[in-house]
Structure 1
Amino acid sequence: MNDRLQALSDAGVSIWLDDLSRERIESGNLSELIAGSNVVGVTTNPTIFAKALSDGERYNEQVRELVAAGADVETAVFELTTRDVQEACDLMLPVFDRTGGVDGRVSIEVEPALAHDTEATIRRAKELHDKVARPNLLVKIPATREGVAAIEASIAAGISINVTLIFALQRHREVIDAYLSGVERAKQAGLDISTIHSVASFFVSRVDTEIDKRLEAIGSDEALALRGKAAVANARLAFELYQQEFSAERGRALLTAGANTQRPLWASTGVKDPDYPDTMYVDDLIAKPTVNTMPEATLRAVADHGKVLVDDTVSGTYDESRDVLERVAAVGISYDEVVQVLEDEGVEKFDKSWAELETTVASELEKGK
């Protein structure tokens, strides 16, 4: 085990890999990362699947089977992606068992075209849950306004959910409320609420990318001094919100009844700006219990030179974090506008990647005829 990755795990941060492909599974790479790099979970998204299918030949046999069965593109995408997730779930099952279901999780996303359709999202989440049929699956639902209601309904049905594309603190509050409401409904329905898990994926680097762009356009000394500070401040305040909600009476009552907390997950932790330390969104967001889902380049960087010097770099920073966001507002940048832009762009980017995935699959189906 790598000392830095072990120290991060010991500090209460679950390391999840933000990547999945059949190549990783069948070559033994994912097993190696589980065994030697403290990887205890996997997340996927449409961009990841599009890249995996365009790069890999390991899908050819299944593609031929799908062609023979007369599968259309939508069915083929569903079958190809769920098989990868099933196999990753099976590899992660020992971690799932060892951690009592907390980790060993693999996520698969409801297609982004449904992000603004509550009922369709609910149906698709159930279809993915039933198809993968593994206890360690998380279904990803984006935290759009329409998605929040689907999150509550899915949790109430006993489906474990990875809530994705959270940028705003207010939306995070709504997501926590949806989780608690869903667990309350599941409890009333007689479900075993101890088996329901959820993470709230709070996106990090994209916040700096958008706010830094605006700070640089303003160009004043006050504005430029704030570059690279907003994303970590925003995430730290999300963790404060998590602490508040699960220590309040409603949260405590559910935890006493056997529920799990909805852990904050730091997503988009690959650093976009080469001027910043490439491990900053890991080093500056160490807190228990959180998840950090990293692209492999970030995982390798943390293993090589991450500054995991203390067990907590979040608690005690809340006033400072609020001050950062207040100073951002003071130079003329609207927080509400930024987070809405980021949510809209996030759905749009994943929708574009889904279209690329469908195009890739259509091409593969044609070649397999």
Structure 2
Amino acid sequence: MADSIASLISTGTKLYLDSVEPALVDQNLAWGAVGATSNPAIISSIVKDGGLDKRIEELLAAGHDDEAIAWQLTDDLVIDAQNKFASLNKESGGNVGWVSFELDPLLEDPTLGLSDAERTKKYIEAGKKWNEGHTNRMIKVPATPAGIAALEELAAAGVTLNVTLIFTDDQYTQARDAVWRGAQRRDSLDHFKSVYSIFLSRIDVYTEKNLAGLSESSQGQVGILNAKRIWQKNQDFWADKNTKLEQELIFASTGTKNPSDPPTKYIEALAGSDIQTNPPETNQAAVDSGIEFHRTVDQMPDQAIQDEIDAALDSAAMQDALMTEGVDKFVKPQRALLEIIAQKRSELSPAG
């Protein structure tokens, strides 16, 4: 069964896991995964399951508040995954073996009333803080206006960046250009690595709702077409930049949302290059699929499909809608994590 996922890797895809749950990391490493990522929803799930109760008790006894505990647990889990991928990072010279650490989503919470300038300043401070002392940690920054404004300074400071929540070519281009400006301020490009997370399934959920008039052949293809175009643009941009390490796309949000779609829809459509950061169940589906994967990342949909999508899609409107939704999907899990820790405090503290 694992032959299927081995065939996906053999196309050139670098397989990452969208989790830092220790047992899942071990399983995916055995399948050939070469990296992982974390986010508040993942951390919340691990904490809720109770496996970290002993560590929470230690942190409570040390007098930490809920927010400090949340970030310490996140740091612990990411470090554990980093250690497991460290040898791959070293062997590849820094091309693979990375684990992404997401900065505080609450910076984008509109209810807090921060200006973009304040958010940017906090992204830069937090990015440098959580990067310090790590050799195979990527700092995950969202492609919001404030996040993009922080990228040049972070890249110049030597931070390895995963720019996330990218839905459109415009976001990708702004983020990439900012990172490249920062990279050129470094003394050397030897250790420069950057990745850009292009989301897929959320785009197709959006088009099913807002572009209901698309033909059957085009509906469900918008996310794939968008990702393939940005992939080609990324290939072209870096071709003459002479960086030692690959500057890559991450194909993200690869779990299917439409029940009629096969669970391997996106990983099959984008096999062959760069990074796929897949949910655990999507990698499991690849293992169980029996599919022999072949390179498809550079095979575009029929021109008629491209023309229909281009005529129907307002990219700016889609970006606005998906960014609003995306920020909400970042903020709520972080608040949920803090609530879970508060509940654990009540359950686990001696007075509780």
Instruction: After TM superposition, give the deviation of residue 246 of structure 1 in Å.
Output: 1.1
Given that 1:215 and 1:224 are in contact with CA atoms closer than 8 Å, whether structure 2 keeps it comes out as no
* Gap change, CA 1:234 and 1:306, over 3 Å in 2: farther
- The structure-2 alpha-carbon separation of the partners of 1:152 and 1:326, relative to structure 1 and needing over 3 Å to count, comes to farther
1:33 aligned partner, one-letter code: N
Partner of 2:339: 359
How many angstroms apart in 1 are the aligned matches of 2:209 and 2:37? Answer: 28
Asked if structure 2 preserves the Cα contact closer than 8 Å seen for 1:43 and 1:108, the reply is yes
| C-alpha distance in 1 between matches for 2:293 and 2:57 | 51
Q: Partner letter of residue 309 of structure 2?
A: V
- State the Cα deviation string for residues 206-244 of structure 1 (Å, max 9, x = none): 00010011233x4xxx54442111110011011111012
Q: Does 2:329 match 1:345? A: no
| Aligned partner of 2:126 among 118, 124, 127 | 124
1:246 is aligned to 2:238 = yes
Measure the CA separation in 2 of the matches of 1:361 and 1:314. 42
1:328 equivalent to 2:321? Answer no
**In structure 1, how many angstroms separate the alpha carbons of the residues matched to 2:131 and 2:180?**
20
Aligned to 1:17: 17
The verdict on how the C-alpha distance between 1:158 and 1:12 changes in structure 2, with shifts beyond 3 A counting, is same
| Cross-structure match for 2:260 | 275
Question: What SS does structure 2 have at the residue aligned with 1:12?
Answer: coil
1:123-150 per-residue CA deviation (whole Å, 9 max, x = no partner) reads 11111112xx321101100011221121
Classify the secondary structure of the residue corresponding to 2:185.
Answer: helix
Asked if the contact 2:46–2:52 (Cα under 8 Å) also holds between the matched residues in 1, the reply is no
| Structure 1: distance between partners of 2:299 and 2:258 | 27
Report the residue type matching 2:270 in the other structure: L
**Whole-Å Cα distance in 2 between the matches of residues 155 and 315 of structure 1?**
29
- Residue matched to 2:250: 265
Distance apart, 1:259 and its partner CA: 4.2
Structure 2 residue 70 is the aligned partner of structure 1 residue 80 = no
Give CA deviations for 1:254-274 in whole Å, capped at 9, x if unaligned: 42xx44332000000001101
Q: Aligned pairs, how many?
A: 340
Q: Offset at 1:91?
A: 1.1
* Pair 1:209-2:168 in alignment: no
Corresponding residue number in structure 2 for 1:179? 179
Give the superposition deviation at 1:10.
1.9
Shift of 1:201: 0.4
Amino acid at match of 1:240: Q
Residues 254-311 of structure 1: CA deviation (Å, up to 9, x unaligned): 42xx4433200000000110111210100111232x100111111011112264442x
**Normalized against structure 2, the TM-score is what?**
0.91
**Matches of 2:24 and 2:246 in 1, distance apart?**
31
Look up the match of 1:295. Answer: 279
Q: Distance in 1 between matches of 2:152 and 2:80?
A: 28
Kindly provide the CA deviation profile for residues 80-110 of structure 1, in whole angstroms up to 9, marking residues without a partner as x.
1101111111111111122221111111100
Equivalent position to 1:314, from 277, 297, 300: 297
Judging changes above 3 Å, is the alpha-carbon distance between structure 1 residues 211 and 29 closer, same or farther for their aligned structure 2 residues?
closer
Aligned counterpart for 1:43 among listed residues 33, 37, 46: 37
Q: Secondary structure at the match of 2:275?
A: strand
SS in structure 2 at match of 1:139: strand
- Shift of the 275–316 alpha-carbon distance from structure 1 to 2, 3 Å rule, reads closer
Pick from 26, 33, 36: which aligns with 2:28?
33
Q: Distance in 2 between matches of 1:327 and 1:29?
A: 40
Q: State the shift of 1:316 in Å.
A: 4.4
Unpaired segments ≥5 residues, structure 2: 109-115
One-letter amino acid matched to 2:8: L
What do the CA deviations read for 1:158-214 (whole angstroms, capped 9, x no partner)? 01111110001111111211221111011xxx2x42223221000001000100112
Q: State the shift of 1:60 in Å.
A: 1.4
Equivalent residue, structure 2, for 1:285: 270
- Give 3-state SS (helix, strand or coil) of 2:42's partner: helix
Q: In the alignment, is the contact (CA less than 8 A) between 1:202 and 1:267 conserved in 2? A: yes
From the superposition, tell whether residues 362 and 316 of structure 1 become closer, same or farther in structure 2 (CA, over 3 Å): same
Q: CA deviation digits over 1:314-358, x for unaligned, max 9?
A: 22427x47x545413534x42210122111211111101110011
Question: 1:259 and 1:157, CA in 2 relative to 1: closer, same or farther beyond 3 A?
Answer: farther
| Aligned amino acid, residue 365 of structure 1 | R
Whether contact under 8 Å (1:17, 1:43) holds in the other structure is yes
SS class of match (2:101): strand
Distance 1:164 1:85, change over 3 A: same
Q: Which residue of 1 aligns with 2:219?
A: 227
Correspondences of 1:107-118 after superposition (within 5 Å): 107-115=100-108, 116=116, 117-118=119-120
Question: In structure 1, what is the equivalent of residue 166 of structure 2?
Answer: 166
TM (norm. structure 1) is: 0.87
Equivalent-residue separation in structure 2 for 1:335 and 1:193 (angstroms): 33
- Identify if the C-alpha distance between structure 1 residues 260 and 51 changes in structure 2 by more than 3 Å, giving closer, same or farther: same
Q: Alpha carbons of 1:283 and 1:83: their partners in 2 closer, same or farther (altered >3 Å)?
A: same
- Measure the CA separation in 2 of the matches of 1:234 and 1:151: 23
Report the secondary structure of 2:139's partner residue: strand
* 2:193 is equivalent to residue 197 of structure 1: yes
